[in-house]
Amino acid sequence: MKNVKVLATGLLALSLLSGCANMSTKQRNTAVGAAAGAVLGSVLTGGDALGTVGGAAVGGVIGNKTTR
């Protein structure tokens, strides 16, 4: 069941990111980092909500800071 949740989260993130056509590169990288961080945080913590949100926050910061 956890694999289904992770897959659904990933698919939802990808579908939401498809609407990023008008975003700047920095905004897009921030969104991608947040989505990847949320999925990774969810996987590493076994689907814990705090791990998912924490992963999204860290991923978003990393995505934002790696872009000039």
Whether residue 14 is predicted with pLDDT greater than 80 in this model: the reply is: no
How many Cβ atoms sit within 10 Å of the Cβ of residue 8? 10
Angle at 3 between CA 33 and CA 51, to 5 degrees: 45
The answer to whether 31 and 13 are in contact (CB under 8 A) is no
Percent of the chain whose pLDDT exceeds 70: 97
Domain range enclosing 30: 2-65
pTM over 0.75: no
Whether residue 10 is predicted with pLDDT greater than 70 in this model: the reply is: yes
Tell me the average pLDDT across 14-43: 85
- Three-state SS for 35? helix
Whether residue 6 is predicted with pLDDT greater than 70 in this model: the reply is: yes
* Number of domains the chain contains: 1
